[in-house]
Amino acid sequence: MEGVSAAYVTYYSDLTVPGAVEKLESLCETARAAGVSHLVLLSGRGEHHARLGEEVVRASGVDFTIVRAAWFAQNFSEGEFRAPVLAGLLPMPGGDIAEPIIDIEDIADVAVAALTDARHKGELYEVTGPRLMTFAEMAADLSAAIGREIRHVPISFEEFYAGIAASGGAEFADLVTAIARETLDGRNAHLGDGVQRALGRMPCDFSDFAKRIAASGAWAEAA
């Protein structure tokens, strides 16, 4: 970190991983000692451990910007849920809970703005898409973009865990299911204005995201 003036901090695979908060604290100490003057933290919306991580950054003695993000739209194009979409399914828990899913290109733009413009220091940007959507509505937008039916299948959290474990292993399934249980209980069923405040524009709508990704060929196997 020597010679670095600002750093974007994202913990893979999530701040809910055991030990993540402690490692973040160590990173902040290293950054401060190296002379880093600004940290931009990617945080999770509605996650207890993410809030603990935010407090570590706030107390670090380094200027900061917090970017607290909703669920990523790219989960369906390059993440764990791409394979079911290719199979024509969107099996998700949470019932009719609505989520303001966000395009990570918007998160990237907010992070770049925060890293390069001192006006963003000390800000908390809760970044979401422009509308609340149920998973059934997301499936409908995916269907329209891909050109074939993507059917939403309501499942239990236990079924969700089993599906993730089959492809990603039990440890990863524990993590993803814990995040889903915590965030898909209605606590995040409201919009944030972080993209608008940071960038002066509206965030990308999920339907536009789906059209862009379909045109790129990411779901070509399902076309």
Average pLDDT per run of 10 along the chain, which is 223 residues long?
96 90 97 98 94 97 97 93 94 95 98 97 98 98 97 96 91 92 94 98 98 95 54
User: Which pLDDT belongs to residue 223?
Assistant: 47
- Total structural domains within the chain: 1
Please tell me the pTM assigned to this model. Answer: 0.94
State the CATH number of the domain containing residue 19.
Answer: 3.40.50.720
- In a domain? residue 223: no
User: Which pLDDT belongs to residue 221?
Assistant: 67
Residue 222 near residue 135 (C-beta atoms within 8 A): no
- In a domain? residue 194: yes
d(CA 9, CA 198): 18
Q: 63 in helix, strand or coil?
A: strand
Host domain of residue 124:
6-218
